[in-house]
Amino acid sequence: MDQFYLDNAKLYQQLVGALDQPARPELNKSDIVTAARIRPMLEEDHAAGFPCAIYPTTTHTPGELQTVYLHDLHNHPRGRPVLKSSKHEVDRVYGETATTETIYADLVVELVAFARQGGIGTLFAYGQTGSGKTYTISQLQRLVAVSLTEEVVLAEQDIHVTIVDLAGNSAFDLLDSRKPISVWQDSAGDMQLAGAKECQVGSAVEMLSLIDQAATYRRTASTLRNDASSRSHSICRVRICNKHTTPDAPGGILFLVDLAGSEAARDVTSHGADRRRETKEINISLSVLKDCIRGKAQYTLLKSRGSERELRQLHIPSRHSTLTKVLKHVFDPWASRPCKTAVIACLNPSLADVVSSNNTLKYAKMLRAPA
């Protein structure tokens, strides 16, 4: 397939150049905001000879959706290859020149404010390996650290940080030398990271140093698409408690989640047995995540149709993996606490990755269904 794309790269660029690409509006009433971030073509993408396959709209009107076009090239049984284009809509699209500061202002400032008021705010990035998840989330974590440790915040609220990573069904404390911890649900239905260290921070320097410490314990390995690929899901939980409430009051929570990247089966054939098992575990947990996204979309559909009997039978399988246990509140239509989520679908722009990018955007669409 890769050779087919390379052989037809010029024709592909002509076909895409001849397309007209308009944008379209609609309002987001959901508690989930979806965004797509397209990372720039890297030197290795250019060196491999694949053209860019993702074309975002460049204008944005507040409250309106933005569009990403993906152009794949398909072999035609008679004659020259043809373009097969798909169109995806998300709340915001960030092209290769967009800065993380812009993403922070658009998506994360509101989540931080929401968590400060006692809600559960969640930000997660997902996408194929090498698509820019760690790049995006690690920079956003730093911006969150600076904003949550401003004097005006610390005068009113205490900030507690926990950073863990999930590999398969095991969980590890990244602030305590990868000590194993367990994830369980308490009697109030909240997920607990039992045994994980929770550090109260008194300044940006302290919080940034915890983030750096956690990054050194994160499990990484080389994949075909990324030399330093994260082979675990990293979860940074920030608990925000008002100084004048009782110590055991739940407080607001902000989750900053950098998921491990999915790898296509064709890209893992050269891995050893351990790496193949690890990839399988990652793909299983991402597949349960997709099932939960589908379950939430199904709930929204049934609710809009008023199908009470089917709603009662609906099962969202958030208990089937440690990752979805931790993120249960995102998919749980019956959650007792208010939740807001921002999801960043990270995309590799190269034509070689167009199938994975298509898949990533399909799930962003499901997540966005209005509640």
Ligand X SMILES: Nc1ncnc2c1ncn2[C@@H]1O[C@H](COP(=O)(O)OP(=O)(O)OP(=O)(O)O)[C@@H](O)[C@H]1O
Binding site membership: which residues? 127-134
How near is the Cβ of 158 to ligand X at its closest, in Å? Answer: 31
CB-CB neighbours of 326 under 10 Å = 23
How near is the Cβ of 18 to ligand X at its closest, in Å? Answer: 28
* Known binding residues for ATP: 127-134
Nearer to ligand X, 318 or 350 (CB): 350
251-280: which residues touch ligand X (CB under 6 A)? 260-261
82-141: which residues touch ligand X (CB under 6 A)? 127, 129-135
Pick the stretch among 107-115, 198-206, 223-231, 362-370 that binds ligand X (CB under 6 A).
223-231
d(CA 304, CA 323): 28
d(CA 169, CA 236): 17
Nearer to ligand X, 65 or 257 (CB): 257
Nearer to ligand X, 51 or 127 (CB): 127
How near is the Cβ of 252 to ligand X at its closest, in Å? Answer: 27
Nearer to ligand X, 129 or 157 (CB): 129
d(CA 131, CA 157): 35
Nearer to ligand X, 141 or 157 (CB): 141
How near is the Cβ of 146 to ligand X at its closest, in Å? Answer: 20
Nearer to ligand X, 14 or 222 (CB): 222
- Distance in Å from the first CA to the final CA of the chain: 39
How near is the Cβ of 126 to ligand X at its closest, in Å? Answer: 9
Of 149, 226, 318, 357, the one binding ligand X by CB under 6 A: 226
How near is the Cβ of 371 to ligand X at its closest, in Å? Answer: 28
**The dihedral of CA 41, 37, 364, 168: what is its sign?**
positive
> Does position 42 bind ligand X by CB under 6 A?
yes
CB-CB neighbours of 42 under 10 Å = 16
What region, left, alpha or beta, does residue 370 occupy, with left being phi > 0 and alpha being psi -120 to 50 degrees? beta
Pick the stretch among 38-46, 148-156, 177-185, 202-210 that binds ligand X (CB under 6 A).
38-46
Site of tokens 């807001």: 340
Is 36 within 8 Å of 90 (Cβ atoms)? Answer: yes
323-362: which residues touch ligand X (CB under 6 A)? 346
Size of the site for ligand X (CB under 6 A): 18
How near is the Cβ of 241 to ligand X at its closest, in Å? Answer: 31
Of 8, 32, 36, 39, the one binding ligand X by CB under 6 A: 39
HSE-up of residue 146 (Cα within 13 Å, Cβ side): 9
Radius of gyration from C-alpha coordinates of the chain: 21
Question: Quick one: which H or E segment has residue 252?
Answer: strand 252-258
Q: ∠ at Cα 129 (352, 369), nearest 5°?
A: 90
CB-CB neighbours of 353 under 10 Å = 23
d(CA 270, CA 265): 10
Residue numbers at the binding site for ligand X (CB under 6 A): 39-40, 42, 127, 129-135, 223, 226, 229-230, 260-261, 346
